[in-house]
């Protein structure tokens, strides 16, 4: 599990270009009425792609020791579970109270 060589400058520039393009797409679809029905899932996927690109290439998790991925991925997964659980608990409670 030794640490490997990091990405090159060209890779960093390509990743930056991809990140900017994804951001433009995000903002673009926000203004297009046609996409309003699928806006939330599309935005979440695009955001996740941007998140993964920064973590893998700029934070070097793709090239670094896998133990670091465990140290970051474990709490990240736990945070996601907390977010989803709170939303389910809260909206479940609201639905029980209102009957809607």
Partner 1 sequence: MTHGSTHAREAEGGAHRTSMGVDSRKMAFWAFIGSECLLFGSLIATYLVYKGRSLVGPYPHEILNIPFTSFSTFDLLMSSLAMVLALAAVQRGDMKQGKLWLLVTALLGLVFLGGQYWEFSHFVHEGLGLTTNLFGSTFYVLTGTHGAHVTVGVIWLLTLWIQALRGKLGPQQALTVEITGLYWHFVDVVWIVIFTVVYLIQ
Minimum separation from the CB atom of position 61 to partner 1 (A): 9
Does position 32 interact with partner 1 (CB under 8 A)? The reply is no
Question: According to CB under 8 A, which one of 4, 35, 47, 92 is a site residue for partner 1?
Answer: 47
Q: According to CB under 8 A, which residues from 68 to 97 bind partner 1?
A: 68, 71-72, 74-76, 78-80, 82-83, 86-87, 90
Minimum separation from the CB atom of position 18 to partner 1 (A): 10
Residue 16: enclosing H or E segment and its boundaries? helix 9-31
Does position 40 interact with partner 1 (CB under 8 A)? The reply is yes
Give the interface size with partner 1 as a residue count (CB under 8 A): 45
Contacts of 50 (CB under 8 A, 6+ apart): 19, 22, 23
CA angle 91, 95, 100 (to 5 degrees): 130
Determine phi and psi for 61, rounding to 5 degrees: -65, -25
């Amino acid at each position: 599990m030794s640490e490997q060589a990091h990405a090159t400058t060209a890779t960093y520039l390509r990743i930056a270009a991809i990140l900017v393009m994804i951001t433009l797409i995000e903002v673009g679809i926000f203004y297009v009425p046609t996409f309003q029905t699928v806006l939330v899932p599309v935005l979440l996927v695009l955001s996740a792609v941007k998140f993964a690109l920064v973590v893998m290439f700029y934070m070097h998790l793709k090239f670094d020791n896998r133990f670091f991925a465990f140290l970051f991925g474990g709490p990240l997964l736990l945070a996601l579970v907390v977010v989803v659980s709170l939303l389910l608990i809260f909206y479940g409670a609201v639905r029980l109270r209102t009957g809607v």
